[in-house]
Structure 1
Amino acid sequence: MSTTDRPYTELCTHSPTSIHYRDDNLAQDILGQRGFTDVLFSQILGRRPDAHDLRVLDAALVAIMEHGLTPSAIASRMVHMSSPENIQSSVAAGLLAVGSQFVGTVENCAVLLRGIIDAPEGVEAAARAVAQRYREERRPVPGFGQHLHRPDDPRAARLLAIGREHPQFEGHYLRAIEVLAREVDAAHGKHITINATGAVGTLLGELGVPPTLMRGFAVISRAAGLVAHIAEEQRRPTGRFIWDLIDHEIPYRGAGEGHNKARDGR
């Protein structure tokens, strides 16, 4: 293998007297001078963000950090009850739920938008085809729909407004989701809101994050929220209540007798 073919990294190196993150000396150039979001942006994307980039990325990360007692938070709390000495296992359990149904739809929506942007037939026609296909297949469009917020998800509206205020964005993702939203409404004959993950996928796309990395940003954000759930669990435990609730509310059906035996004759 030649020297040009050998694997290499640009992320970090160290000497007896220094540590570098990419080209920056950690002790001299970063610590106490640059924030966490700034550094994670640089490490992942390989370029320094400006103040507008940081404002957008901070907003996106904060918007999906906390979703209440959703499956990821419940998983973290239950694992913490079982293994309180390993907080990392509790966080990891919750992060495993960042998938195609919750939070991970950031990636799903961005893939759709990227396809619309790149479509040879143009944004309008491509968005119309996507909306009609999902309607015919009776599937929710990734990044759209919210069962609590009407008529619009307030997080999405604010995030997209922040994105439009960025002076250097090319606007391809912002235009694609705007056109797709119009076509989704037309296909369904009613208004369906862009949700928070749809808006986050749009903003990450404008920042230059490849769709295949977007779920990683969702994981970074959600990890902070899960630590908060574990902190609350340590102060005010819910794990045993959740366990008991399920144990009593999910009936047993079979020949055996027990406290949760189904009594409805089925």
Structure 2
Amino acid sequence: MQIGKKGRAVTSISTADADRIEVRGRDLTSDLMGRLGFTEYFFLLTTGREPTETQRFFLDLLLVSIAEHGLVPTNQVARMTYAADPDFLQGAVAAGLLGCGKVILGTTEIAGAFLKDARARIDAEGITVADIVTEYRDAKRRLPGFGHPLHKPVDPRAQRILELAVEKGAAGPFVGLARETEAAVNEIWPKPLPMNVSFAIPAVLLDLDFPASVLKAIPILARTASLLAHLAEESHTPIGFTLAHHAEQGIAFERTEE
């Protein structure tokens, strides 16, 4: 018995035989290798199209913007995993990536869904983004892509992304909606709530015709590079066990009553 929805058993990404590897209809060795950079290649792999120069520029920019943010939990768990088994690099990377959830790094996809849904509702219902923000406030719902424990009153990464989108002529309806949402939040929300990088990223990508279904891949791909950097450092400047020791020291043991 087949579980799940039936579909055509096909792939359009790549195929290979003894003397040729084809990727998205292009010959890997004679066409792509030496011509495309990795950012362009990632765009081709995920969309089936080669990016325009503007799409390449902003995909590069966004990957750089979110790759690294210090000793965040994803990097800590990777380093502690590596310390436990230095021969298991891929496992340490995987441990870090498993921490890319809704709280850490995973808001890009949810913020993109918010932008798409907000735009559809504004067009269909004749409401404003301020009405939608008010709904979230009244329902005490978390507004995806807003708020940051460190970056206050603004997230400099988000501001730089949107400024460059305007400067490079890449700003479209979703960047405009992001700015409208930011203004509405500043006016309506009961406490300061800065737009963070995970709201700016989907705004630009959606304006550049990047598939919404792949938005979450951007922070994951970017953070993979960061994890590899931390693990390279861990191999010669180990702090994994120090992190584990401080975690143990920082948590008090409390015996529960039976």
TM-score (normalizing by structure 1): 0.87
- 1:121 Cα deviation from its structure 2 partner: 5.0
Say whether residues 1:12 and 2:36 are aligned partners.
no
Call closer, same or farther: CA 1:126–1:79 in 2, change over 3 Å: farther
Compare CA radii of gyration and give the structure with the larger one: 1
Contact 1:80-1:90 within 8 A present in 2 as well: yes
Q: Which whole-Å CA distance do the structure 1 matches of 2:216 and 2:143 have between them?
A: 17
Structure 1: 5+ residue runs without aligned partners? 256-266
In the other structure, the counterpart of 2:4 is none
Q: 1:125 aligns with which of 127, 138, 145?
A: 127
- The verdict on how the C-alpha distance between 1:253 and 1:135 changes in structure 2, with shifts beyond 3 A counting, is same
Q: SS of the residue aligned with 2:215?
A: helix
Residue in 2 that maps onto 1:202: 203
Cα RMSD (Å): 2.1
1:61 aligned partner:
63
Give the secondary-structure state (helix, strand or coil) at the position aligned to 2:21. Answer: strand
How do 1:240-259 residues align onto structure 2 when only pairs under 5 Å count?
Answer: 240-254=241-255
How far residue 144 of structure 1 moved from its aligned partner, in angstroms, is 1.3
Aligned-partner Cα distance in 2 for 1:137–1:229: 40
Select between 205-214 and 154-163 the one with higher mean Cα deviation: 205-214
1:93 alignment counterpart: 95
Q: How far off is 1:225 after superposition?
A: 0.6
> What's the counterpart of residue 262 of structure 1?
none
Counterpart residue identity of residue 175, structure 1: G
The alpha carbon displacement at 1:122 in A equals 6.2
Larger mean CA deviation between 38-47 and 157-166 belongs to 157-166
8 Å Cα contact 1:124-1:179 kept in structure 2: no
Q: CA deviation at 1:147?
A: 2.7
State the match for 2:50 in structure 1.
48
SS at match of 2:16: strand
Shift of 1:158: 0.9
Report the CA distance between 1:162 and its aligned residue: 2.0
Contact 1:12 1:19 in 2 (8 A): yes
Question: Aligned ranges for residues 179-218 of structure 1 at < 5 Å?
Answer: 179-188=180-189, 191-218=192-219
Residue 229 to residue 50, structure 1, CA distance change in 2 (3 Å): same
- The aligned amino acid for 2:161 is L
Q: Which residue of 2 aligns with 1:141?
A: 143
In the aligned structure 1, how far is the partner of 2:125 from the partner of 2:108? Answer: 20
Separation in 1 of the partners of 2:98 and 2:147?
Answer: 23
Q: Is the 8 A contact 1:66 1:222 kept in 2?
A: yes
1:156 matched to 2:158: yes
- Residue number in structure 1 paired with 2:3: none
Count of paired positions: 250
The 3 A distance-change label for structure 1 pair 124 and 200 is: farther
State the TM-score, normalized to the length of structure 2: 0.89
Contact 2:158/2:200, CA 8 A, preserved across alignment: yes
Shift of 1:33: 1.2
**Cα distance, 1:124 vs structure 2:** 7.9
Aligned pairs for 1:27-46 (under 5 A) are: 27-46=29-48
Q: Is the 8 A contact 1:123 1:176 kept in 2?
A: no
With 127-136 and 27-36 compared, the bigger mean Cα shift is at 127-136
- 1:47/1:249 CA distance change after superposition, 3 Å: same
Gaps of 5+ in 2: 1-6
Answer whether contact 2:165 2:171 (CA < 8 A) is retained. no
Tell me how far apart the structure 1 counterparts of residues 198 and 97 of structure 2 sit (CA, whole Å).
16
CA distance in 1, matches of 2:214, 2:224: 16
CA distance in 2, matches of 1:214, 1:196: 13
- Report the CA distance shift for 1:249/1:146 in structure 2 as closer, same or farther (over 3 A): closer
Q: Give a deviation string over 1:7-30, Cα, whole Å, max 9, x none.
A: 222211223221111111111111
**Which string of whole-angstrom CA distances, capped at 9 and with x for unpartnered residues, describes residues 246-265 of structure 1?**
2222122228xxxxxxxxxx
1:129, CA displacement in angstroms? 2.6
Map of 1:102 onto structure 2: 104
Q: Which amino acid aligns with 1:114?
A: K
Q: Identity over aligned residues, as a percent?
A: 30
Structure 1 residue runs of 4 or more that deviate by more than 6 Å after TM superposition: none
Offset of residue 170 of structure 1: 6.9
